[in-house]
Amino acid sequence: MKSAVEAPIKDPGLDSEEARQRKKYMVDLFVVQARNYDFHDDVYGFYAHRFWVRSLLNVVKGFMQGRASARMLDLACGTGFVAFNVANKFANIDIDGFDISPDMITVAQERCQKGFEGRKINFWVGDAEVAYGEKMYDIITTSFAFRNFVNKNLATENVFRALKPGGVFIIQDLTKPEHQPLKGFYLFYMKYILPIITRILGTEKTAAGWLLKSVRMMPKNSEIKSLLEGKGFTGVYYRSLTLGIACLIVGYKPGELYE
Ligand SMILES: C[S@@+](CC[C@H](N)C(=O)[O-])C[C@H]1O[C@@H](n2cnc3c(N)ncnc32)[C@H](O)[C@@H]1O
């Protein structure tokens, strides 16, 4: 992957009005969305996230080679989609997950109680932009949430701090396809078709608009790579998924486990 030097990603700051408003919007959005979130995701996204999660699981599988156990954090875990996918595949990974939305966390906790009794899986409400620990995790994932972080620098610094040396950070998210004709079709779908589907499903009425806006605001893969490298990550690489509709970005905290 070419190593371009990108302009730094600028953030408004933790205490900014923009951060306050966007986080409030997230919390309010998922009051309405949390119960139907996974079903709606399947409908809007044609089940794509169920395919995309396999790339994330493959990175986890590679990381786990030769390891007896690991501790993972799923950052902005939502209803626990990634956490439960990892738990189903790896009995030797203990999992924490937190999210800014109390409603998403309630759904995650209920699912955990129903399907994962006896496993070390914990969910709580928290903000990815506020420091949450030091050298605690071997693996940190964040799926379809990075573009929602208002202060991406702070979120990335917190991940770096919370990883153990040698730990891996895996980002999966939506991006805009860069090439025609998919770019045109994608934007048409997001702008005109998605709002109709969301209306039929009874989704919160601003959700489709926000999705399009957040994808447009998402930095390019190379910019996120530069961000990670600037915070100290090494071995950073990215892959486009489904012709650039989504991406997988991986970086490692330097340390003896990696070197
Ligand atoms: C599109 S959902 C993805 C949820 C889940 N990771 C998945 O893959 O299904 C985005 C999530 O990011 C959460 N989020 C947004 N900003 C956050 C922040 N600053 N800290 C923690 N969670 C955040 C939202 O509440 C929401 O649950």
The 10s digit of each residue's pLDDT in 51-75 is 999 999 999 999 999 999 999 999 9
> How far is the centre of ligand 1, averaged over its atoms, from the C-alpha of 259 (Å)?
32
Report whether pLDDT(49) > 70.
Answer: yes
Give a yes or no: residue 230 inside a domain. Answer: yes
How crowded is residue 131: how many other Cβ atoms within 10 Å of its Cβ? 12
Q: What pLDDT is recorded for position 230?
A: 97
Asked whether residue 85 is assigned to any structural domain, the reply reads yes
Q: What is the pLDDT of residue 240?
A: 94
Token pair of 101 as six digits: 């939305």
- Does residue 258 register a pLDDT over 70? no
Query: Measuring from atom 8 of ligand 1, which residue has the nearest CA?
Result: 143
Range of the domain at 145: 31-175+218-252
Q: Is residue 149 part of a domain?
A: yes
Best residue among 57, 101, 130 to mutate for probing ligand 1's pocket (most ligand atoms within 8 Å of CB) is: 101
CATH code of residue 63: 3.40.50.150
Residues 6 or more apart in contact with residue 17 via CB below 8 angstroms: none
How many domains, the chain?
A: 1
Query: Mean pLDDT throughout 114-137?
Result: 97
Q: Whole-angstrom Cα distance, residue 23 to residue 239?
A: 28
